[in-house]
Amino acid sequence: MLLGINAHFSSAQDRQLTIEDCFNPAFAVQGLKGVQWIPGSHKFSQIKGTDLVATDPYSKKDDTIVTLAKLNAAISNAAVEAEKPAPSILKSIPQITWKDEQSFSILVGGGLYVYRINNQSAVLKRSFGTNYDAIEIAKITLNVATVEKNNIRVHTAGQSRFLTDDGGNGIVYGQAVHRNEFGINGGFFWSEDGTKLAFYRMDERVVTEYPLLHIDTRPANETKLRYPMAGDSSHTVTIGVFNSFTEEVHYLKTNGPYDQYLTNITWSPDGIYIYLAWVNREQNKMELRKYNANSGELEKVIFEEKHEKYVEPEHGPIFIPSSNTDFICFSKRDGFDHLYLYQNGKLAKQLTSGNWEVTRFIGFDKSGENIYFESTKESPLERQVYALKLKDKDLKLKKVTSNAGTHFVLLNNHSGMFMDVMSSRKEPKKYTVYKYDGTVINEIYKAVNPVKDFKLGEIRVEPYLINGTALYTRTFLPPDFNAKGETKYPVVVYVYGGPHAQMITESWLAGANLWFHYMAQNGYIVFTVDNRGSAHRGLNFENVTHRQLGTLEMQDQLGALQYIKKFPYVDSTRIGVHGWSFGGFMTTSLMTRHPGTYKVGVAGGPVIDWKYYEIMYTERYMDKPQENPEGYKNNNLLNYVDQLDGRLLMIHGMDDDVVVWQHSLLYVQQAVKKMNANLDYFVYPGHKHNVLGPDRAHLYKKVSQYFFDFL
């Protein structure tokens, strides 16, 4: 039996990782901080130490924009001049937003300041206190919207006023709705000129209140969470519009079922229209709608998309520069996520096509005639960047990044440059500035290997075929690995397997973290496969699991396990499995629906019964429980508790508001009823869906020790 004990060695490349090392920032890949192109300049800003500097990509010379001490002094003086209390002293340069080449805005202590570089002074533009739950600042006018006790307050020139007064008790304003699905991550949307504000209003009063228990008081207390479970009543969302000129608020006339979805809110550049994606409760139909922002009337349905399984819009229209009518849309209508050009409300042409996906729209060049986007065209594991001329009849793609890996690009339209942030299994992180034509200007920064002094094994990334489909696998091997079969290694399978996730990429550590190397150092092979249902392989690859979450994913996991068991160095009697969230569901599924295949499992935050999970996600992939009783029954893990014959550790955060604690507690209850004593259980009080912060090292110490003890 292997012990979870690590010895330290002083010689180079002989060090052994500890659990604490795995989560120590000192051993994470370092990069540039706060990188942004400066408007109207060929330089970019970054934070170096306690200074904000401007870097020239040609000479790589840094010029100090402002020191932390001077910024603190300027902010304090600005507060005094405005007869406001000075905010607390900043300990580091915070996030800034460039207004122009000579000024940037900064949010400090409930005040919005503009720092002027030419005279090294700051001006307090808005003061709105610190009692807010959400905030959004208009880019041009610096108007500010905040949420205070579920109501919206706007701060415009010379005044501050509440737009709403009925927030609370199930009414929520200005925050993300629909449980953050459909790409939603906020609740405010300023028009481009900053004079109009669109905002979400969510009425949750018909949604069941769910209790979350807190043990830090005597006696314990609870808070209530509005949590809409699959098949139950959902919330109602509407969209308000505030006009700072007329000071009026009205609502878009989005007439329809109370539980429809309103997503991807986008302003036309002239601020006259609002575009949104309307999705029905069944999530099998989407309409891109155009509303008049002044009257709230529906102007036109630009297009609609239907699918027998589901639709899932995640991006709003991307307007062509200098046009209020022409835009680019993402769509999976041909089976892969591609770009389409619309002109005057009509489809003009499909811009990209093929058995690959556009994963990110980056932007336009200065002329607005060329677009840049990130895609999987080279490989599902990579992210390369391409340019495309919109008026090109042949729509030829020009690849502007090189070297296998994942590339993240920042465009500078003023100077025709872009910064490429690249990572691969061999390259932790590298920043290079190019001209738009691909000419290298300079390598700006190259990260050192943060774990070069540790004795680490090989990482292999390989495809294998199952039913004619290539699935990608990732294998962490122990140092001094013996492939001849003279040493038999136990295997820990790390699994996620659910929608919107891709575990394996051509990036540093192949998308994993140092815990994988830690386990390999302790004599384990750590293996992962991205099964069908996971992301970036096309719609058919992703939605094949519809109405049966868990079933086909297990087939792929079991097929991959048979693949790795064929190697002579694998101890097929000692296979473990570990995952969190959907991965916790998969871990429990594999341990109980195929008993005897895996000896040990650790399931974190697992979904156990899909009818206890949220409406938006569950009904997309499983339909309602009333519509798909067999699918829910077959993948309800409470039905398989008596089949657990290996050791299973289940872990849950007590305050989990994503996969509520009830899931794993029901599993414990059923294990007791079935007299199955193979289940072990651990709870993290005060933690939500994941165990973060200092306690994360404890979590992985617990996970690792379970494998050391029983595998």
Question: SS3 letters for 24-54?
Answer: CHHHCCCCCEEEEECCCCCCEEEEECCEEEE
Q: Which of 51, 326, 609, 656 is catalytic?
A: 656
Residues 6+ apart with CB under 8 A from 355: 336, 538
Other Cβ atoms within 10 Å of 190 Cβ, number: 24
Cβ–Cβ under 8 Å, residues 337 and 357: yes
Residue recorded with tokens 């790409």: 183
d(CA 399, CA 215): 56
What is the DSSP pairing of strand 469-476 with strand 525-529? antiparallel
CA atoms within 13 A on the CB side of 409: 34
Q: Which of 581, 589, 664, 704 is catalytic?
A: 581
**Taking the mean position of all CA atoms in its chain, how far away is CA 639?**
32
Residue 133 annotated as catalytic: no
d(CA 423, CA 167): 45
What is the DSSP pairing of strand 134-137 with strand 327-331? unpaired
Residue 523: exposure state from Cβ atoms within 10 A (0-12, 13-18, ≥19): middle
What is the DSSP pairing of strand 525-529 with strand 489-494? parallel
d(CA 83, CA 160): 17
Structure-block tokens of residue 380: 């599902």
The angle at the Cα of 270, spanning 266 to 273, to the nearest 5 degrees, equals: 50
> How many residues are given for the chain?
711
Query: What is the secondary structure of 95-152 as a DSSP string?
Result: -EEEEETTEEEEEETTEEEEEETTTTEEEEEEE--S--SEEEE-TTT--EEEEETTEE
Residue 698 annotated as catalytic: no
Q: Which of 259, 402, 689, 709 is catalytic?
A: 689
Residue 656 annotated as catalytic: yes
> What separation in angstroms does the CA of 357 have from each of 259, 375, 398?
31, 6, 16
In degrees and rounded to multiples of 5, residue 190 shows phi and psi of -80, 145
d(CA 251, CA 202): 13
Structure-block tokens of residue 396: 């030829």
Catalytic residue list? 581, 656, 689
